[in-house]
Structure 1
Amino acid sequence: MEEEIFDFWKFLAGIGVFLWGMHQLETSIKELGGKSFRNLLQKSTNTALKGILVGALITAVLQSSSLVTLMVLAFLGAGVISLKNSIGVILGANLGTTITAWIVATLGFKLSVAGFAMPFLGLGSLLYIFSSSRPFLKNLGAFAVGFGLLFLGLDFMKTAIEAVADQIDLSTFQAYGLWVYLLIGIVVTALIQSSSAMVVIILSSINAGVIGLIEGAVLIIGANIGTTITVAIGSLGGSADKKRLALAHTLFNVITGLLIFIFIEPLVDYTMHLFDIQDPLMELVLLNTLINLIGIVLFFPFIPRLEKWLQHRFKSSEPIGFSKFIKNVSPKVPEVAIAALEKDMQYAFERTISFLTSVWKESDEEKKQISVWRRILQQPKDLMEQYKQIKALEDELTSYHIDLQEENLSIEDAERLTSLMLTLRTLVYASKDLKDVMHNIKEMEDKEDNLTKKYYHHLKQYTFEYLKEIKTYLQAESIEGAQPDWIAKNARKYDYWIVNLYQEYKNHTQEFPISTMTNVLKQVISSLDNLGSASIHFKTKTRIVIDKE
């Protein structure tokens, strides 16, 4: 009887189909319930322990630790959750991924796998093709196809290994010790970039009798360590937060894995005796879960210290730019990205109000210490730098807005995004209006004639009162009732000043040209109009309350 030849291509196809099935599951579940899981993650991770529990739950359902990691990075960058609680979610995600092994061990080796997969593939494909106009049914079909592909890939791998199981002699490897299996687990998992697929290969090998339980457990440890290599490589060009989380993930898996590796044989014997498990497949998936549980128990007390240590790492990788939040958040998670954009819009308000205040505000001490000519020449340069920073912030936020528009946004999120861009545009207009006449304002300040001094102080006082109203409005928890009619108020003030200015001009000797003064009046009122409009756009469509100083 001829010996069967190992069908490498069937085995490779099994890995590919399994990974494709995992991808389809991840994508479809993300579309079906991604927003709900993001809301759960945002609202239920105010402590590290809750982070672990929620991370395990969401990863168990989504079957994708990479998707959970993406959400965590988005929330971390947006300032929604702390680094400490993010670490908790990552530890929980490690535990959640073990559910794949339980499903495969429970169903994949107890049923006719190919026969089990066919109904899901057939019905799912038809549902996907004929429900293109109904997103929910289409994604449900994609989910069924992904589930079917998962088990079809498992069948390919299982049958390819079973066919040559009796021809494989691992005594050569065993002679070198268990560390060889540890190395194989690390390398193979790093190559195929999926610890779940590696676990299926290990389960298939144990089922076929190719390896024993001890070797399988060591390969599992290697797979847990190997999966961190993918995350670490992916973080190389990423933000500081991404590198910190990747390092936390690597430390967790490597330290836990090496500690368990040292005591692997007594651990296997103890668990088999304690739980009285006869099935090596079930024993292996139990060990896989226990390894992650032990790691969580070991790491949990040290999470606060780990957070402090990580915060001092990768300082050079902090994102550059004037924004505070969007540079840390991927647009791939729209709800969180818009929340980050709202917080940066709050920052844009602060920068704009600070600029408007700086144009007018100069302390008596500064007046005494700095000569008139130096104030005229130097101050606008400092103010110009503030204005350039506001423009640079506008460029960053606008570019981010363009990236966000490419995502699948809900109607509510699209409206919020439009309102934020209107807010940004009018904020920049408010800055530009005053920037264009700030040199005239400085000249007015230094004139000695009574009329110029009078209108300079009128404008300055009115501006500060108006800014105080804006801040009060933005800091209010609710905006019930009619919106403030700042534009009408400004128009009345402008008309009053213009009429009085022309009347008073006839009876005064004035150093400052009246045409320039009327232009200053017009630009100041226009600046305040735009700031008021920006405030209403921002407040009526967003959920942010400006922090009180």
Structure 2
Amino acid sequence: MGEPSFDFWRFLAGIGVFLFGMSQLETALKELAGKSFRKMLQSLTDQSWKGVLVGALITAVLQSSSLVTLMVLAFLGAKVINLRSSLGVILGANLGTTITAWIVATLGFKLSVADFSLPFLGLGSLSVIFLQQRPVLKNIGYFCIGFGLLFLGLDFMKVAIEEVATQIDFKQYQHYGLWMFLGIGIIVTALIQSSSAMMVIILSAVHAGVVTLTQAAAMVVGANIGTTITVAIGAMGGAADKKRLALAHLLFNLVTGLIIYAFIADLINLTLMLFPVQDALIDLVIFSTFIKLLGVFLFLPFLGLLEKWLKRRFSKSEPKGQTLYIKNVSTKVPEVAVSAVEKEVAATFEKTVDFIIGTFQAGKKRQKMPTWRRIVSEVKDPIENYNQLKVIEDELTAYHVSLQEEVLSEREAESLTNLMLSLRSMIFAAKDIKDIQHNLRQMENSEDTLTTEILKKLRNQLKNSLLDLEERVQAGSLTFNNLNAWRYGNELSLKEINTFLHVELRKNKHELFPVSTLANVIRQTSTSLDNLGNAIDFWKFRTQPEKVEAN
């Protein structure tokens, strides 16, 4: 028997073209329908079983479980979905990847694959070249190119394997047992980083008669395990939630794979008995789908327990920093990232209000303490809260710079700009109060009755005004007209306090406390409230102009 004439370069080109086609499909679908799918993922994952269905559907259409995983991580980091729901979506994503195998098994080996790909490549290329100014048609062109390359790569792999099929006797390797084919599935899938491409290779080998159905089934099990290695490597050094999802993905496929491998012969016989289609390719795809379904039914009832167990893992990998929502949100999913920035702005607003009220009330709380408690109590410097706000500003600014490198829609770019302007206005509001902190402490220690009365009026005005604003914001009842009324009310109240100061000065000469300091405190307080009003305007009404129009 002569030496095998395996065309390695044709086979390698087939893998490369197939993977590149998958990449083109993913890119085109992200542009054509990605946002719709993400919105569906966001709204339909409140229960685990819904997450499974949505994950399977989105992966079946996008043909990329990695893209779905990226979206899941983004929503998880933004606290849009919880860990349990994200686990359900990952389960569904595993199931959705089987659609590639069904397409290849039903069409790829039944038609002239190269001829089938040519119309898609021709029309797609012409669309991309001549329809650059029509984004939808251009992306449809990219979709056609990806689809054509997918089948062209399949043809290269099929021909390369068919040429060597008649010259290689796999029977000489059978004495090693099925574990060798299991290992081949794991290693090759980990190397090419695509379970879909590996499935095509396995189907090509079955079609060419190179391997038996049982050997191919063992490689399918190996491919399911091998695909988790890529995710695990990608999670190294990542955030805690990313590692938790990677571990869950590994557990799903490893446990399911080992159970299937232990009973592989019996399960193949069961598949042949239940689905007597007399087609090895279809039998193999049914077997692959069965593996995925088994994983879903095996883990779905225990996702709650798994979630609790995972949350106790990787606690040291929790993201550092003061921000709450952007830590785990990839900027690769812009609309989710912008939503995370908005949540950070909302949290920063609450921190800013707490800082301003806390700075004015700090001395008052301490004065009410018994003497012995004032002696032994620890003095909390409000400046620490201000420094925390500055750290949040720095983290959000860095995230904003990174997000600007992505392709944003006009609405997303405008919203992001207004949110960052809102953040800056909040920091300005906090700085106005930080700059008079020492004056407030001097006023607290003053024995001048006018100074004490001014401080009391400022405290009451600030506390009542800010708590009212915060309550309206949290309840979602703040309107554009309400905000303008709030700002006008503050302006009048602070003018009254300033008038009170000058009336009292004319009636009685006060020399115990500098009048210029009192005037400066009132002015800085007014500026702070004005900046906070600007922040709300940018955040609530310029970012969401329909709310202004509704008023």
Normalising to structure 1: TM-score of the pair? 0.95
Deviation at 1:468, TM superposition (A): 2.1
Alignment of structure 1 residues 16-415 onto 2, 5 Å:
16-362=16-362, 366-367=366-367, 369=369, 379=379, 382-415=381-414
Separation in 2, partners of 1:258, 1:231: 19
Seen in structure 2, the aligned counterparts of structure 1 residues 200 and 512 have a Cα distance that, compared at 3 Å, is same
Give a deviation string over 1:39-93, Cα, whole Å, max 9, x none.
Answer: 0000000100000000000000000000000000001111111101100000000
Which amino acid letter does the alignment assign opposite residue 473 of structure 2? L
Separation in 2, partners of 1:75, 1:277: 42
Separation in 1, partners of 2:235, 2:480: 48
In the alignment, does 2:533 pair up with 1:537?
no
Separation in 2, partners of 1:527, 1:308: 44
Deviation at 1:502, TM superposition (A): 2.7
Runs of at least 5 residues in structure 1 that lack an aligned partner in the other structure: none
Seen in structure 2, the aligned counterparts of structure 1 residues 18 and 365 have a Cα distance that, compared at 3 Å, is closer
- Match of residue 14 from structure 1: 14
Separation in 2, partners of 1:269, 1:146: 37
Give the total of aligned pairs. 541
The answer (yes or no) to whether the contact 1:416–1:542 under 8 Å persists in 2 is yes
Seen in structure 2, the aligned counterparts of structure 1 residues 370 and 412 have a Cα distance that, compared at 3 Å, is farther
Separation in 2, partners of 1:70, 1:59: 12
Seen in structure 2, the aligned counterparts of structure 1 residues 283 and 359 have a Cα distance that, compared at 3 Å, is same
Separation in 1, partners of 2:369, 2:43: 53
- Match of residue 462 from structure 1: 461
Separation in 2, partners of 1:336, 1:210: 47
Separation in 2, partners of 1:27, 1:483: 44
Separation in 2, partners of 1:528, 1:482: 17
- Match of residue 520 from structure 1: 521
Q: Secondary structure at the match of 1:73?
A: helix
Please, which moves more after superposition, 400-409 or 469-478? Answer: 469-478
Separation in 1, partners of 2:475, 2:90: 36
Which amino acid letter does the alignment assign opposite residue 261 of structure 2? F
Seen in structure 2, the aligned counterparts of structure 1 residues 164 and 481 have a Cα distance that, compared at 3 Å, is closer
Root-mean-square deviation (Å): 2.0
Give a deviation string over 1:350-399, Cα, whole Å, max 9, x none.
Answer: 11111111112247673255879x89x985x7211110000000111111
Separation in 1, partners of 2:137, 2:364: 70
The answer (yes or no) to whether the contact 1:338–1:417 under 8 Å persists in 2 is yes
Seen in structure 2, the aligned counterparts of structure 1 residues 276 and 306 have a Cα distance that, compared at 3 Å, is same
Which amino acid letter does the alignment assign opposite residue 417 of structure 1? L
Normalising to structure 2: TM-score of the pair? 0.95
Separation in 2, partners of 1:521, 1:244: 51
Separation in 1, partners of 2:345, 2:368: 37
The answer (yes or no) to whether the contact 2:414–2:543 under 8 Å persists in 1 is no
The answer (yes or no) to whether the contact 1:342–1:542 under 8 Å persists in 2 is no
Separation in 2, partners of 1:454, 1:159: 91
Alignment of structure 1 residues 443-458 onto 2, 5 Å:
443-458=442-457
Deviation at 1:416, TM superposition (A): 1.6
The answer (yes or no) to whether the contact 1:225–1:250 under 8 Å persists in 2 is yes
Deviation at 1:541, TM superposition (A): 4.5
Give a deviation string over 1:496-545, Cα, whole Å, max 9, x none.
Answer: 333432332241333110111111111111111111221232222457x9
The answer (yes or no) to whether the contact 2:84–2:307 under 8 Å persists in 1 is yes
**In percent, how many aligned pairs have the same letter?**
57
Separation in 1, partners of 2:58, 2:256: 22
Which amino acid letter does the alignment assign opposite residue 34 of structure 1? G
